[in-house]
Structure formats: C-alpha cells, structure tokens
Amino acid sequence: MTTVRLNSADPVSIDTDALIVGFRSGQDGPSPAAGAETLDTAFGGGLAASLAALGFGGKPGELAKLPTFGSIAAPVLVAVGLGDSPDLEGLRRAAGAAVRSLTGTARAALALPAGTAEEAEAVALGGLLGAYAFDRYRTDGERKEPVAELTVVSGAEGAEQVAERAAVLAEAVTLVRDLVNTPPSDLNPAKFAEIAERAAAETGLGVEILDEKQLKDGGYGGLIGVGQGSANPPRLVRLSYTHPEASKTLAFVGKGITFDSGGLSLKPSASMDWMKSDMSGAGAVFGALVGIARLGLPVNAVGYLCLAENLPSGTAQRPSDVIRSYSGKTVEVLDTDAEGRLVLMDGIARAAEDSPDLIVDVATLTGAQIVALGWRTAAVMANDDAVRELVVEAAGAAGEGAWGMPLPEELRKGLDSPVADIANLQPERWGGMLAAGVFLKEFVPDGVRWAHIDMAGPAFNKGEPYGYVPKGGTGAITRTLIGLAERHASI
C-alpha cells in the first residue's frame, strides 16, 4: 500500500523521483497553478510556454512529462492539467491521473493547489487512489509497481490530520477494489466471510456470520434460494461498530453475489465475464465499516454482507419457485437472474431489527441502471425525499456521481404474482431499475427511513482508467457511505 506524508518545503528542493505540478487552462495557454510558482521561476519563467509548445493546454486530465536537467531536485517533472477552476474532485482526479502515469516510479511529490486542509486531503486521496494496481495474479513480467511513497506539498494548517484521513479512505477503497478484482474461484461467500472476520478482528468491529444451516433455520429464504445451486453455500455477515458517544445508528446492506451467472435464467457469456463484480455492494459496505472504525466516528454502524453465488445446477432454484423471505413475505421467483433483490430483501428485513435511524442498501442491481445513467452515475431511490437528497449530496461531496430517481407507486402492480405475495420480476422491461427499487421497498417496515443505491455501472470500469479510477473494480460508493456516517455523527 502506498504511503503519504506532508512536506511544506519549497517543491523545487524536494528529494523525490518525480514532481507533479498543476497548470490551469486559459485563453493564453496553460498557466502555473498554486504550488507551481517557484518552479516556474526555477525554469526561468518559460515553463508554461514550453508546455504549450508540446501541445499541453492545461485541460483536465492532460499530462506532460519533462526531464528537469538539474534545474530542480526532482529529475522528472509531471505537468497535469487542472482546467480553468478546479474543485476538490478536480484536484483528486488530477492527482490520481498524474500518479497513475508514474507506475514503476518509487517516489513522487504532488505540488498541486493545497492551500487549505481540504485541498491537501483531496490531493492526498486522489494520489493514493491513483496509485492502485492489482497484479497479484501476474507472473509474466508485466508487473509494474505503483508509486510507493507520495509526498503532498502543503503548509496548510491541519494538513497532517487530513493526510491521515485520506490514508484511511484510500485503504478502505483499496480493500474493496481488491475484493472485486479477485476471481470468483478465490472469493466465494465463505471466503469473503472469512476475510471480513479477519478484518473485523484487526479493526475492533463486531462480527457475526450465519452459515447455510443457520440461514435455513433462521428463515432467510432469499439467501438460501439464490445460493442453493452452488457448491459454495451462502453466508450472511453482520459487522458492527459502536461508539460510546453515538446517538444515531446506521445500517448498510450490501449485495454480495460473488458470481452471477444468472442461475437457470442463464446470462449470455458476454454479460457474464465481469459478474465477479456482483459483490461490489457488499464490498462497499465492508470497506465503509472498516473505514468508519478506523476513523473512530461517533456513530453506530452495522453492515450486512448478503453473500451467495448464483449458479445453475440440479439443486438450483427454478423460475416459478416460491420462496419465503426473512420478513415472512412470499416471493415467486420468475427469473433467477433477478437474484440481487432476493438476497437484499432478507438483509433489509434483518437490518430493520437493529432499529436503525437509516437503512442504506447498495447493489449492482440492474442493467437498467446503466441504460438510465451510464457507467459513472449511480442511482439513488428512497422512501423519503430528504433521505434521497442526503445520499445524493454525500455522494457528490465524495466526487462519486449519483442521481436521485423515483419509486413510482404504479410499478407495484407489475410485481403482482398469481401465487405469492410478490414476484421478483415485472412482465415488461421498461423502468426495470425502478421496479427493482419498488420490490425492495416492500421489505422495509413502515416508519423506517431507507435508501437504495443501484451502482451496476459505477462499480466496475470495463473501459480505460481515468482520473483516480483504475480498470476493473472501482470501490465506488464506499466513500459515500463513510460520508453518510460522518453526516450522522454526534457532536
């Protein structure tokens, strides 16, 4: 894991392998941003003009690398574009993109605008998240070490503390990315539960794990139904964090399908090869609980990881089977590929028993989310407008795209079943993301505030890396959940 520290020295004198500086874009070409002033002088004031000659305009995401020929202590200079007026997310992305371009370099220093503690935190966090690599399965010499040591140049008051916070947040996200990227042969429900148990012991979280027998005896028909086709049985993990001064309790519920083949309602191969990422919701909940505990936030938090593997076999559930949820409601399983809602209905009903002030479930729930909002914007639905706005706001502050979506009442009748209390699929395709939310809402007891985050797109980056986001598992929504805990903290 990459380390970060602060240094308030003049960046020209910092002993490092590469110095990252920011440039803003403007009508007259790139201009040095805060943090880059002394550097421009060290290069005789001609740095911006040389960069412009190379075609660098200072637009967000633009990068240029230059040898420094001894003009400053660092042998390499990395100019990164910040656009015309970067916000905190702009700083995170620029830091991430610059550090990501330096794989194979041991040490880098970031002299980006960091005049306030908030800005210093953004630079540190973006840099740490950009330094991610997942190559534990590589033997072919393609391994490239991410930057090991980052230095954030800042003299801001309180910057030491925020660097520490950035390190905790980055560690939580990294934990999630690693889990998402791990192949499903090495991350089945029991293995995930074991990893959570170990992390809980290290961070002082409470942990309870229900195995398949306990789930069956406990009436968790959704987890059992979805998991029964696999030789790797389901688990329900409950992680808990308490603080003596806390007055609020948050409950997070994550969809943890360690592999989603669709079950007997089998997916086509092209939709299946990335379904190791279908545990990203449980990943985010796990990462958030670890982060909340490390930060010692004055709030109580419980996290439920609803873990199962959705496979077809002679023991798999069949389309038209009726299962009984933990809440007691019966569900007709019309499509075994709509399995996320079946494990979440058990998790949500169980979470309600903790009498939380708010339940938030997180899931890679529907392809319809990607149709509606694309790859980078998660959908937020809720049974309370203020709760929905709070979640959208927390996501925005974390730089994680999220947008509020409705739960239209008229969609409920599409889920009527001729044999059970509710069906897991509506007959038509349209509004599939909302129908899934309407289904889940049925399992939230009256009077309990609840929000649902569908992040089917944002959880996994099938395209090229961008900003601080790598290819593969992104760790999306982990920081949003931690932000929600901060917003519920006492004192």
Pairing verdict, β 149-153 and 206-210: unpaired
Applying CB under 6 A, does 364 fall inside the site for ligand BES? yes
Report the distance separating Cα 121 and Cα 167, nearest Å: 9
Give the interface size with Zn ion as a residue count (CB under 5 A).
Answer: 4
Report the distance separating Cα 59 and Cα 54, nearest Å: 14
Site for ligand BES in 333-362 (CB under 6 A): 335, 337-340
Q: Which of 168, 151, 127, 111 is nearest to 468 (CA)?
A: 127
376 catalytic per annotation = no
Contacted entry of Mn ion, ligand BES, Zn ion, none for residue 368, CB cut-off 5 to 8 Å set by kind: ligand BES
Q: Which is nearer to Mn ion, 23 or 259 (CB)?
A: 259
Phi, psi of 22 (to 5 degrees): -100, 145
The tokens for 68 are 């420094």
Applying CB under 5 A, does 225 fall inside the site for Zn ion? no
Contacted entry of Mn ion, ligand BES, Zn ion, none for residue 232, CB cut-off 5 to 8 Å set by kind: none
Query: Least distance to Zn ion from the beta carbon of 430, Å?
Result: 20
Site for Mn ion in 320-339 (CB under 5 A): 337, 339
Q: Which of 207, 299, 200 is nearest to 247 (CA)?
A: 299
Eight-class DSSP state of 427: S
The tokens for 3 are 């380390």
Report the distance separating Cα 455 and Cα 392, nearest Å: 13
Q: Which of 140, 141, 160 is nearest to 152 (CA)?
A: 160
Is 425:367 a contact under the CB 8 Å cutoff? no
Give the interface size with Mn ion as a residue count (CB under 5 A).
Answer: 3
Q: Which is nearer to Mn ion, 89 or 337 (CB)?
A: 337
The tokens for 135 are 């190559």
Q: Residue 315: is it exposed, middle or buried by C-beta count within 10 angstroms (0-12/13-18/19+)? A: exposed
> At 232, is the secondary structure helix, strand, or coil?
coil
Is 16:108 a contact under the CB 8 Å cutoff? yes
471 catalytic per annotation = no
Applying CB under 5 A, does 454 fall inside the site for Mn ion? no
Applying CB under 6 A, does 456 fall inside the site for ligand BES? yes
Query: Least distance to Mn ion from the beta carbon of 263, Å?
Result: 8
Site for ligand BES in 397-426 (CB under 6 A): 425
Site for ligand BES in 246-305 (CB under 6 A): 260, 278
**What is the identity of the amino acid at 251?**
A
Report the distance separating Cα 39 and Cα 77, nearest Å: 10
Query: Least distance to Mn ion from the beta carbon of 342, Å?
Result: 10
Q: Which is nearer to ligand BES, 78 or 415 (CB)?
A: 415
**Per annotation, catalytic residue among 65, 107, 248, 267:** 267
**Per annotation, catalytic residue among 341, 350, 441, 479:** 341
Residue among 25, 101, 151, 366 that touches ligand BES (CB under 6 A): 366
| Residue 430 neighbours by CB under 8 Å, 6+ apart | none
What's 28-53 look like in SS3?
CCCEECCCCHHHHHHCCCCHHHHHHH
Contacted entry of ligand BES, Mn ion, Zn ion, none for residue 367, CB cut-off 5 to 8 Å set by kind: ligand BES
Q: Which is nearer to ligand BES, 425 or 469 (CB)?
A: 425
Residue among 119, 178, 212, 260 that touches Mn ion (CB under 5 A): 260
Contacted entry of Zn ion, Mn ion, ligand BES, none for residue 381, CB cut-off 5 to 8 Å set by kind: none
Q: Which stretch binds Mn ion (CB under 5 A): 39-47, 255-263, 288-296, 392-400?
A: 255-263
Contacted entry of ligand BES, Mn ion, Zn ion, none for residue 361, CB cut-off 5 to 8 Å set by kind: none
Report the distance separating Cα 370 and Cα 350, nearest Å: 29
Residues belonging to the active site: 267, 341
Q: Interface with Mn ion by CB under 5 A: which residues? A: 260, 337, 339
Q: Interface with ligand BES by CB under 6 A: which residues? A: 260, 278, 335, 337-340, 364-368, 425, 432, 456
